[in-house]
Amino acid sequence: MATDASPAAAMRPSYILTLAARDQPGIVHAVAGLLFQAGCNIVDSQQFGDLEGADATGLFFMRVHFEAPAHLADPTQLRTLFEHARQQFQMDLHFHVQARKPRVMLMVSQHGHCLNDLLFRWQSRQLPVEIPAVVSNHETFRGLVEGYGIPFHHLPLAAGADAATKDTQEAAVMAIADRERVDLVVLARYMQILSPGLCDAWRGRAINIHHSFLPSFKGAKPYFQAHARGVKLIGATAHYVTADLDEGPIIEQDVERVDHTLSAEDFTAVGRDIECMVLARAVRWHVEHRVLLNGHKTVVFR
């Protein structure tokens, strides 16, 4: 795993390999051996076997960052090289070109703190993504989004809209995602429940953020409800979207301590900050191919 600082090394294509398979001997040996035979240099490698506890899935996960010779600039060649091992170990195997920036579509309603945070991180190059579109069921943040030079799509959906109206709106959302070749959808406080069909279509490719009071404080102004109950910890959860509302595989969480000296408005401000940080981490880890689905949970290689 020694690093080659020569100019030729700088021209090598860089990849992230991710895999999941039933845990069994020989997987690490096979992966490392094939990369060595191909003349690749492993920069970083992480692995995890989910083998302990009543909820263990028995799966093995691996993330390998490696540099390849110039003639392996096409990932198709790597997939061909690994095909026998993939079949032998029944791997769910993927090669990601590290230099490629995933295309992320943001969705928002009328709370803009997470949207604004992600846009700033993108503009300041803290978040290695492309943002080809922002979709909203309100016009509220058109000026903010277009100020960043990003297309804003207003697809209205009123509260209590009937099923046909919702289906039409979601079809328009899907059309934008397909046209823009979107890799990831981020619900940056998009306050509409997605249909089961859309959740299935975006399985493992849509991230949501919410406060961590659920199911204690539902509905409007949860931070005000928390303040009224004397809550001492405020938190946020980022997870993948599923048809089970706010119960998808968790990617990241964080908390902040609060006390009686803070007002309900202070609680809300603290909560918004945590939501921004947690969502940004989850999006970054996803686009860096550090998050692997493990049934109803995730493996996150940091």
Report the phi/psi class of residue 229: left, alpha or beta, with left for phi > 0 and alpha for psi in -120 to 50: alpha
- As a whole number of angstroms, the distance between CA 220 and CA 237 comes to 18
Catalytic residue from among 23, 246, 254, 273 = 246
Residue that is written with structure tokens 């993927």 in the block: 94
Q: Is it true that the peptide bond before 215 is cis, omega within 30 degrees of 0? A: yes
Classify burial at 192, counting beta carbons within 10 Å of its beta carbon; exposed 0-12, middle 13-18, buried 19 or more. Answer: middle
Say whether 259 is catalytic: no
Classify burial at 159, counting beta carbons within 10 Å of its beta carbon; exposed 0-12, middle 13-18, buried 19 or more. Answer: exposed
- As a whole number of angstroms, the distance between CA 274 and CA 268 comes to 10
Asked if residue 1 lies in contact with residue 43, where contact means CB atoms within 8 angstroms, the answer is: yes
Residues annotated catalytic, as ranges: 246
